[in-house]
Structure 1
Amino acid sequence: MFKTFAFAATALTLAAGSAFAAPSDDARTHFQAIASGDTQIVMRAYADQAQLNWVGGPLDGTYATTDAIRGTWEKFGKAVGPLKLTIGSIEESANPKGSTVSANVVFEGKMPIKVRYVLTYREGKIVSETWQIDPKLNVALAATAETAGKTATY
């Protein structure tokens, strides 16, 4: 009986851990979904009233509905195809009301797209996203305990 209880407790702990991923992990998943052109995974990260601010490039603008955001990611995916993803520095700030993740990211296809990314999460969903194209952005892989021994290129 104890083995059954221990197994159930372990399974519950693992399930809870995966259900409550850190916002920086959610951001990495979001970036990878963008790079692979998986709009369905990209869209499940957004809250109902989310806003995407795209600064620079042909998609420059503010998108304030999930339909508008979906359309933007579909256009982007069709225009660039699958991309190689490199995540440089990534930082997370949090308090009880929400979290903000900022990152330097490069999406590489025909040409590199260097992006300064800022995502704001509330209740585990993106409520605000800023995609700032920055051709001069330096995206060096951060050597932290989290990334030591791992590559952040996907």
Structure 2
Amino acid sequence: MMSQYSESPTLQWVGGPLAGKYQGKDKIQAVWQKFIKAQAPMETAITNVKSTTPLQGTETVKALITFSNVKTKIPVDYTLVYKSVSGHS
């Protein structure tokens, strides 16, 4: 998953004990590891994937990701915003 992030990404985690703004791959990877460790073993299901038409150097991809284990299901509205950097997508 980390390979999908740019060199200077920002993750805005909304809700729950991990809520906050995380900048940089190291901090983002650490928060995902905390989430996975707290929920393991875990499965994921990805549905409702939609993307916007690129406008002014940005494209948005949205999906519903459901993380589940034997105790719970956690539905997450996941949004990725891709921005053009120096003419590159």
The TM-score, its normalising length taken from structure 1, stands at 0.49
The structure that is strand-richer by fraction is: 2
Q: CA RMSD in A?
A: 1.6
CA distance in 2 between partners of 1:90 and 1:103 (Å): 4
**Pick from 43, 61, 76: which aligns with 1:101?**
61
Q: Which residue of 2 aligns with 1:142?
A: none
Q: Within 1, Cα distance between the matches of 2:50 and 2:63?
A: 6
Structure with greater helix share of residues = 1
Q: How many pairs were matched up?
A: 82
Pick one of 73, 76, 100 that aligns with 2:35: 76
SS at match of 2:76: strand
Identity of aligned residues (%): 37
Q: Which one-letter code corresponds to 1:120 in the other structure?
A: V
Structure 2 unmatched runs, 5+ = 85-89
The yes-or-no answer on 1:115 pairing with 2:50 is: no
Secondary structure in 2 matching 1:77: helix
| TM-score, structure 2 normalization | 0.80
Q: Which has the higher contact order (CA 8 A, sep 6+)?
A: 1
- Stretches of structure 1 that go unaligned for 5 or more consecutive residues are 1-41, 124-154
Shift of 1:79: 1.2
SS of the equivalent of 2:12 reads: strand
- Greater than 3 Å deviation, 4+ residue runs: none
For the pair shown, the structure with the greater C-alpha radius of gyration is 1
